[in-house]
Amino acid sequence: MGATPTFGHVGTARPGDLFASRLDLSLRGQHRPPRAGVCATSAHGAESLILADQYEDDEIHDDYFWYAGYGSRDGQTGRQVAHQDLNHRNRALTRSQETGRPIRVFRRIDAAPAAWQFRYEGLFYIVNLEYITGKSGFGVYRFRLEPWRAKTN
């Protein structure tokens, strides 16, 4: 991921736009990694993330969501199998909270004609983080994201 980070909207994409696959998101520069759920660096923070609705400690609400941190999950079940640590992706998410930069959020949806598509939810920012005992009994980082609003002076 040697490309320069892009924070904010990319191209003409706007909330509600649909993308066919993770590869489509990657090729269009919306969410560059074709497999990882977070596009980020520890130095700059997160550019984008994908809500896949498959991890037990995520909480999705109408006006905000809690995004469970990266690591120590079973890839098939989404269940935690060990405590998370402050790895490079979780550090990148904490960096996003420090900088207040917007993060592009995409959500996997069940929609025709494809079995799975991704919808651009818009720009969000991290307003809080916590380290909790998750549903499987292991320590989990959770990041609360809310819709991004440009700061005015």
> Which residue in the block uniquely carries the two structure tokens 């269940």?
79
CB crowding 93-127: b at 16 or more within 10 Å, else e: bbbbbeeebbbbbbbbeeeeeeeebbbbbbbbbbe
Mean pLDDT of 117-125: 95
Query: Which residues 6+ apart lie within 8 Å of 101 measured at CB?
Result: 7, 44, 45, 125
Beta-bridge partner residues of 48: 39, 104
Residue of higher predicted confidence among 84 and 2: 84
Binning pLDDT at 50, 70 and 90, where does residue 115 land? Answer: low
According to the model, what pLDDT value does residue 17 have? 93
Its pTM stands at: 0.89
pLDDT at 78 over 90: no
According to the model, what pLDDT value does residue 1 have? 45
Mean pLDDT of 50-75: 90
Instruction: Return the percentage of the chain with pLDDT > 70, whole number.
Output: 93
Domains of the chain (ranges, CATH numbers): 18-147 (2.30.280.10)
Instruction: Return the percentage of the chain with pLDDT > 90, whole number.
Output: 68
Mean pLDDT of 62-80: 88
Residue of higher predicted confidence among 16 and 75: 16
Q: Three-state secondary structure along the chain?
A: CCCCCCCCCCCCCCCCCEECCHHHHHHCCCCCCCCCCEEEECCCEEEEEEECCCCCCCEECCCCEEEECCCCECCCCCCECCCCCCCHHHHHHHHHHHHCCCEEEEEEECCCCCCCEEEEEEEEEEEEEEEEECCCCCEEEEEEEEECCCCCC
Q: Model confidence over 93-114: pLDDT tens digits?
A: 999 999 999 999 999 998 766 7
According to the model, what pLDDT value does residue 153 have? 46
At 75, list the tokens.
Answer: 């890839």
